[in-house]
Amino acid sequence: MKMVMATKNTHKIVEMRALLEGLDMEVLSEADVDLDIEVEETGETFEENSLIKAKSVMECTGLPAVADDSGLCVTALGGGPGVYSARYGGEGLTDKGRYELVLQNLKGQLDRSAKFVSVITACFPNGKVITARGECPGLITYTPRGDGDFGYDPIFLVPEKRKTFAEMTGEEKNAISHRGRAMAKFREELGEYLKEL
Ligand code: IMP
């Protein structure tokens, strides 16, 4: 079976292909099927946004489609930036600008609890929907730590590891991250569904 991944990010496609190895599922990029659409993420939850993306691509291509949506939820910011993680502070900011804004908005705040969330949704032309959610709880640091430069990694501390995401190797992070957890659940559920067909 073929499945289109709703993303312009080639890293996500490589990651999904590796994850689904061994299952009867070939992961195609939007370019592989000559698709070029901008889907507006108008949902208020990660579930809604990943469903909007997967459903749009499924409807445009007639093929099964998969999408993910993720972000950082900080308790003292009312769960924000949440689904707005990529756009926090406006379009003009860099990743560094965005995590500095989180630190600034948490100034004087003792509750540093937070979690990363990732939701993966697959939509099939027959109406079947598979959704998998992964979470990773942690704490927001007072200052950035580590060399990893993706998103909010330098300010997200995993207390049991005594490291921020930015101080971990890719392997260390994948083993406990929201995305790693969602991916593992997704593979399991997709495998079960493919057996039923
Ligand atoms: P999207 O799911 O590709 O829309 O990404 C959402 C945003 O959440 C990213 O642009 C990052 O700012 C943030 N984010 C999601 N996962 C991570 C992570 O593992 N580390 C750091 N930031 C992340």
Give ∠ CA 92-78-178 in degrees, rounded to 5.
Answer: 75
Tokens of 17: 């292909």
Task: Give yes or no for a contact between 151 and 106, defined as CB atoms under 8 angstroms apart.
Answer: no
Catalytic residue list: 69
Query: Residue 163: phi, psi to the nearest 5?
Result: -140, 150
Question: What confidence score (pLDDT) does residue 130 get?
Answer: 98
What is the DSSP track for 81-121? EGGGGGGTT-TT--HHHHHHHHHHHTTT----EEEEEEEEE
Q: How many residues does the chain have?
A: 197
Q: DSSP secondary-structure letter at 63? A: S
At 48, the amino acid letter reads E
pTM of the model: 0.96
Average pLDDT over residues 141-159: 95
Q: Which atom of ligand 1 is nearest to the CA of 165?
A: 20
Check if the beta carbon of residue 36 is closer than 8 Å to that of residue 30.
yes
Report the nearest atom of ligand 1 relative to the CA of 95: 12
Q: pLDDT for 54-96, tens place per residue?
A: 999 999 999 999 999 999 999 999 999 999 999 999 989 999 9
Nearest Cα residue to 183 out of 97, 74, 86, 66: 66
**Top mutation candidate among 45, 72, 145, 158 for ligand 1, by most atoms within 8 Å of CB:** 72
Ligand 1 atom 11: the closest Cα is on which residue?
Answer: 151
* Mean pLDDT value across the chain: 96
DSSP H or E stretch at residue 194:
helix 178-196
Q: For position 152, what pLDDT does the model report?
A: 97
Which band of pLDDT confidence, cut at 50, 70 and 90, is reported for residue 11? confident
**Residue written as token pair 């930015």:** 166
